[in-house]
């Protein structure tokens, strides 16, 4: 039990005082905190972790600000005990409140993102460590002597000492029993080393130095500003914001800084880059960490000790007591949008966090989102431009291959010009990347006899052939099955045919064409987990791979000095569908992937295979005229009042009962109040209507920018009761239209 001991208790109320009422919020899907009586004589401040009865159990919650209700005291339960953990700060509580209001998710669900499991808030058990007592027992054996030799410096556990000394644990304990070692407690979550601020970063270019100066000015002023570092890939954005980190720590060595990055696979390389700059590794935060490593980061952030945190989007919700700077790298990346649980966009919330707590937020990107560009144009954000690559490396030369004029042979996917370019590159001893954002062997498996398409059970999703494992896999539900010998609809044997290419199929073609070349495939199937991905990335960086065939995993952030050719197998892939950001996303992804070429001395080029050579987005990529493309995109969105020129929300209804779903959607639509500047669209079926047995429908609400969309939605949703068989979720500013 981790009850606060007397020394940590808040001041006692005077004897005979009435028991204090406080509000307690639990990390459960609850829209509000509940009233409790404080334990006898104490008045815990907002932010204090407590354990209190809730239903049949006692659970960990947090004392929340707010006026208590009117309920008579005999109806209230009493807090069981206070937890010895650093309290949540007022600005974090404010941020949780704001986030719940904005996203329309329960307050307790947002709190849950901060405190994760209650285990984090409770201190772990101390481990027993040993160090030299300074007294040698009379009987010293050679084994004991070896332990003495190992026991210098910081205290170590019995097993660590035994391992270093090459003896059994019993020898260590024996020596301790004889008085040669003394026992000490060691915290299983050791503090992170402080960054070395005496280190000097690299000599900055003039553009970089100007940018740093501007950011430092905001940091020193200690006020909020969102600053976009807008620079092509390899222009030195990272160096610029690392100087901003140094400046924030110089100003206040106890400040905390969060650096958000979109891709876990990038963290290892990124952590070592930060370590190089500050001579200490930052605190990591992402889903692949072990439970112990997560607890260490959480606790060391909570007690203010971890200075620099590098993590995925959820690092925004760590309990920093002294957050002073947030950096969102690759701010345009879709990975910042969380779609499960509380739906939020980490970039947008990072800006809110900075604005409410009064510190700068830095966004970095080579292809900033339209939202951010409009915020810069309208003067809300500052921008720092880094127009050229560092040290004069040239941007790749991009051209299109019109597949209507230069088709691939039947059953093949690489056109003659792309094949020739790869062959040339191979002959020159240079590396090539073939990019296709599609996992597996073939995206569709079709019966040649009856036309049956293989789909996942109870879902409208296609099964993707993974030939390597000889299975059919659904990328949406995770369902998989061995590839059947016969069509399940007409029983025709050997009639199931793969249609279209995935990376595995392109690799098959590449191996047939260039049998001598070192060819690797990189996708989340072929390299499950960050370590496996890292191995391929390192091999590519070190020149051990001639041709890498990869999905978007290879597109982000990596530095491949010997890569000079990028071939995009299907540049049209992201353009289909009704997603309002389809063209923008295609532009971002393709400039990132083509930006991998020619990052060092040798110039690079990129070839894009397309059936839509007239598409504006592809033309913009070729001409490198990003601003003209964004201006045209902006006009399109303005004309339709789509974000960022208007607000958008989706109400998603899901049910296993299709009739109930239809009724609920119709009833909800009928109850929509008329609102000035508000359009309600739908209900419409989701493009993938059935997923894991659940049918899904959606209403879209479009509002003028000055409309309080949340208030409108709240008023509307309050009027309609949805049956319990139908789940209703609000997605403010939706990104995913599946
Ligand atoms: P970006 O983040 O814009 O892609 P990086 O900051 O990663 O660019 O810089 C690209 C490469 O150039 C990196 O290897 C980086 O270390 C190097 N670089 C950038 N700025 C400087 C500088 N001022 N001095 C030395 N090397 C630099």
Q: Are residues 627 and 529 in the same domain?
A: yes
Q: Are residues 381 and 269 in the same domain?
A: yes
Q: Are residues 375 and 317 in the same domain?
A: yes
pLDDT at 196 over 90: yes
* Tokens found for residue 241: 């914001």
- Domain membership flag for residue 444: no
Question: Ligand 1 centroid vs 201 CA: distance in angstroms?
Answer: 11
User: What pLDDT score does 107 carry?
Assistant: 98
Domain that holds residue 75: 3-115
| pLDDT band at 449; cut points 50, 70, 90 | very high
Q: Are residues 625 and 508 in the same domain?
A: yes
Q: Are residues 550 and 668 in the same domain?
A: no
- What residue's CA is closest to ligand 1, atom 20? 236
Ligand 1 neighbour 202 (Cβ under 6 A):
yes
Contact 530, 264 (CB under 8 A): yes
pTM score: 0.88
> 173-187, 296-310, 457-471: which has the highest mean pLDDT?
296-310
Which of the listed residues 115, 141, 156 is the one where a domain comes to its end? 115
pLDDT tens digits, 629-663: 999 899 989 998 899 999 999 999 999 999 999 99
Q: Are residues 371 and 331 in the same domain?
A: yes
Q: Are residues 151 and 257 in the same domain?
A: no
Exposure string (b/e) for 660-697, b if CB count within 10 Å is 16 or more? bbbebbeebbeebeebeebebebbebbebbbbbebbbb
Q: For the chain, how many structural domains are there in total?
A: 5
Q: What is the mean pLDDT of the chain?
A: 90
Ligand 1 neighbour 233 (Cβ under 6 A):
yes
Ligand 1 neighbour 239 (Cβ under 6 A):
yes
pLDDT tens digits, 111-169: 999 998 666 777 677 888 898 888 888 888 999 999 998 888 888 888 889 999 999 99
Residue range 405-415: mean pLDDT, rounded: 94
Tell which one of 200, 207, 234, 391 to mutate to probe ligand 1, the residue whose CB is within 8 A of the most ligand atoms: 234
User: What pLDDT score does 14 carry?
Assistant: 47
Question: Ligand 1 centroid vs 683 CA: distance in angstroms?
Answer: 49
User: What pLDDT score does 246 carry?
Assistant: 96
- What residue's CA is closest to ligand 1, atom 25? 202
User: What pLDDT score does 577 carry?
Assistant: 64
Ligand 1 neighbour 237 (Cβ under 6 A):
yes
Closest atom of ligand 1 to 559 CA is 14
Say which residue the tokens 């007397």 belong to: 6
How far, in whole angstroms, is CA 271 from its chain's centroid? 15
Question: Ligand 1 centroid vs 308 CA: distance in angstroms?
Answer: 20
Question: Ligand 1 centroid vs 389 CA: distance in angstroms?
Answer: 8
pLDDT tens digits, 539-548: 999 999 999 9
Residue range 588-606: mean pLDDT, rounded: 83
Question: Ligand 1 centroid vs 205 CA: distance in angstroms?
Answer: 10
Q: Are residues 282 and 377 in the same domain?
A: yes
User: What pLDDT score does 392 carry?
Assistant: 63
| pLDDT band at 12; cut points 50, 70, 90 | very low
Ligand 1 neighbour 236 (Cβ under 6 A):
yes
User: What pLDDT score does 9 carry?
Assistant: 44
Task: With CA atoms as reference, report the closest residue to 274 among 254, 300, 245, 297.
Answer: 245
> What distance in Å separates the CA atoms of residue 405 and residue 466, rounded to the nearest whole number?
31
Q: Are residues 369 and 311 in the same domain?
A: yes
- Domain membership flag for residue 455: no
- Domain membership flag for residue 320: yes
pLDDT at 388 over 90: no
User: What pLDDT score does 653 carry?
Assistant: 95
Q: Are residues 68 and 182 in the same domain?
A: no
Contact 397, 605 (CB under 8 A): yes
Ligand 1 neighbour 629 (Cβ under 6 A):
no
Least confident of 40-44, 526-530, 593-597: 526-530
- Domain membership flag for residue 465: no
Closest atom of ligand 1 to 235 CA is 3
Task: With CA atoms as reference, report the closest residue to 606 among 567, 563, 556, 549.
Answer: 567
pLDDT tens digits, 675-687: 899 999 989 998 8
- What residue's CA is closest to ligand 1, atom 23? 204
Question: Ligand 1 centroid vs 239 CA: distance in angstroms?
Answer: 6
Supply the CATH number for residue 22's domain.
3.40.1440.60
Tell which one of 390, 556, 599 to mutate to probe ligand 1, the residue whose CB is within 8 A of the most ligand atoms: 390
- What residue's CA is closest to ligand 1, atom 21? 236
Ligand 1 neighbour 372 (Cβ under 6 A):
no
> What distance in Å separates the CA atoms of residue 207 and residue 186, rounded to the nearest whole number?
48
Supply the CATH number for residue 614's domain.
3.40.50.300
Which of the listed residues 634, 659, 687 is the one where a domain comes to its end? 634
User: What pLDDT score does 138 carry?
Assistant: 84
Which of the listed residues 579, 601, 634 is the one where a domain comes to its end? 634
Question: Ligand 1 centroid vs 271 CA: distance in angstroms?
Answer: 15
Contact 423, 486 (CB under 8 A): no
Question: Ligand 1 centroid vs 502 CA: distance in angstroms?
Answer: 33
Residue range 179-190: mean pLDDT, rounded: 88
Supply the CATH number for residue 687's domain.
3.30.70.600
- Domain membership flag for residue 443: no
Ligand 1 neighbour 204 (Cβ under 6 A):
yes
User: What pLDDT score does 448 carry?
Assistant: 92
- Domain membership flag for residue 149: yes
pLDDT at 522 over 60: yes
Exposure string (b/e) for 440-467, b if CB count within 10 Å is 16 or more? bbbbbbbbebeebebbbeebbbbbbbbb
Cis peptide before 168 (omega within 30 of 0): no
| pLDDT band at 8; cut points 50, 70, 90 | very low
- Domain membership flag for residue 131: yes
- Surface-to-core class of residue 360, CB atoms within 10 Å of its CB (0-12 exposed, 13-18 middle, 19+ buried): buried
- Domain membership flag for residue 335: yes
Tell which one of 204, 236, 365, 395 to mutate to probe ligand 1, the residue whose CB is within 8 A of the most ligand atoms: 236
Question: Ligand 1 centroid vs 384 CA: distance in angstroms?
Answer: 15
- What residue's CA is closest to ligand 1, atom 24? 202
- What residue's CA is closest to ligand 1, atom 6? 236
Residue range 391-404: mean pLDDT, rounded: 83
Q: Are residues 428 and 368 in the same domain?
A: no
Q: Are residues 248 and 356 in the same domain?
A: yes
């Amino acid at each position: 039990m981790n009850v606060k001991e007397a020394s940590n208790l808040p001041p006692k109320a005077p004897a005979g005082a009435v028991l204090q009422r406080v509000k307690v919020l639990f990390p459960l899907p609850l829209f509000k905190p509940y009233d409790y009586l404080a334990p006898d004589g104490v008045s815990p401040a907002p932010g204090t972790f407590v354990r209190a009865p809730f239903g049949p159990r006692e659970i960990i919650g947090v004392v929340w600000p707010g006026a208590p209700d009117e309920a008579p005291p005999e109806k209230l339960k009493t807090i069981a005990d206070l937890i010895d953990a650093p309290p949540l700060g007022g600005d974090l509580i404010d941020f949780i409140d704001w986030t719940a209001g904005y996203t329309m998710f329960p307050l307790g669900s947002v709190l849950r993102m901060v405190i994760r499991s209650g285990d984090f808030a409770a201190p772990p058990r101390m481990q027993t460590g040993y160090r030299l007592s300074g007294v040698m027992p009379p009987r010293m054996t050679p084994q004991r002597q070896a332990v003495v030799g190992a026991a210098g410096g910081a205290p170590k556990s019995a097993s660590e000492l035994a391992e270093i000394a090459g003896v059994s644990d019993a020898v260590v304990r024996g020596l301790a029993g004889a008085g040669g070692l003394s026992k000490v407690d060691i915290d299983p979550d050791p503090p992170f080393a402080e960054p070395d601020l005496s280190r000097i970063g690299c000599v900055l270019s003039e553009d970089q130095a100007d940018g740093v100066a501007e950011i430092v000015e905001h940091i020193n002023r200690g006020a909020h500003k969102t600053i976009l570092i807008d620079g092509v890939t390899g222009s030195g954005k990272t160096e610029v914001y690392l100087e901003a980190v140094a400046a924030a720590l110089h100003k206040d060595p106890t400040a905390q800084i969060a650096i958000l990055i979109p891709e876990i696979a990038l963290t290892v390389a990124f952590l070592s880059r930060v370590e190089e700059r500050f001579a200490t590794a930052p605190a990591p935060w992402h889903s692949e960490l072990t439970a112990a490593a997560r607890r260490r980061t959480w606790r060391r952030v909570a007690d203010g000790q971890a200075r620099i945190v590098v993590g995925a989007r959820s690092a925004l919700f760590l309990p920093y007591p002294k957050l002073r700077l947030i950096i969102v790298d690759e701010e345009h990346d879709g990975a910042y949008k969380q779609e499960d649980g509380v739906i939020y966009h980490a970039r947008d919330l990072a800006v809110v966090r900075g604005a409410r707590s009064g510190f700068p937020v830095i966004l970095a990107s080579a292809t900033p989102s339209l939202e951010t560009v409009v915020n810069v144009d309208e003067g809300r954000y500052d921008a720092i431009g880094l127009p050229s690559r560092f040290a004069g490396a040239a941007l790749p030369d991009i051209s299109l291959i019109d597949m209507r004029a230069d088709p691939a042979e039947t059953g093949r996917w690489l056109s003659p010009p792309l094949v020739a370019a790869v062959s040339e590159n191979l002959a020159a001893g240079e590396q090539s990347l073939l990019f296709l954002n599609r996992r597996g062997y073939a995206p569709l498996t079709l019966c040649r006899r009856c036309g049956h398409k293989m789909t996942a059970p109870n879902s409208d999703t296609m099964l993707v052939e993974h030939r390597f494992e000889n299975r059919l896999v659904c990328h949406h539900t995770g369902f998989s099955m061995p590839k059947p010998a016969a069509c399940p609809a007409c029983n025709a044997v050997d009639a199931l045919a793969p249609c279209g290419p995935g990376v595995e199929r392109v690799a098959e073609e590449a191996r047939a064409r260039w049998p001598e070349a070192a060819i690797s495939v990189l996708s989340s199937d072929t390299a499950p987990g960050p370590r496996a991905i890292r191995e391929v990335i390192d091999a590519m960086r070190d020149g051990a791979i001639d041709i890498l065939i990869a999905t978007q995993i290879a597109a982000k952030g990596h530095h491949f000095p010997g890569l000079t050719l990028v071939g995009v197998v299907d540049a049209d892939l992201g353009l289909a569908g009704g997603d309002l950001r389809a063209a923008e996303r295609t532009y971002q992804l393709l400039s990132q992937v083509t930006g991998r070429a020619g990052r060092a001395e040798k110039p690079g080029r990129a070839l894009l295979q397309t059936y839509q050579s007239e598409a504006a987005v592809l033309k913009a990529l070729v001409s490198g005229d990003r601003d003209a493309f964004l201006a045209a995109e902006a006009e399109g969105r303005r004309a339709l009042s789509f974000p960022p020129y208007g607000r958008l929300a989706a109400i998603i209804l899901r049910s296993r009962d299709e009739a109930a779903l239809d009724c609920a959607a119709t009833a909800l639509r009928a109850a929509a109040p008329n609102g000035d500047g508000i359009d309600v669209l739908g209900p419409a079926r989701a493009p993938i209507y059935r997923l894991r047995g659940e049918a899904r429908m959606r209403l879209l609400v479009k509002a003028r920018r000055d409309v309080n969309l949340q208030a409108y939605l709240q008023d509307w949703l309050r009027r309609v009761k949805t049956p319990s068989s139908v789940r209703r979720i609000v997605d403010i500013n939706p990104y995913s239209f599946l």
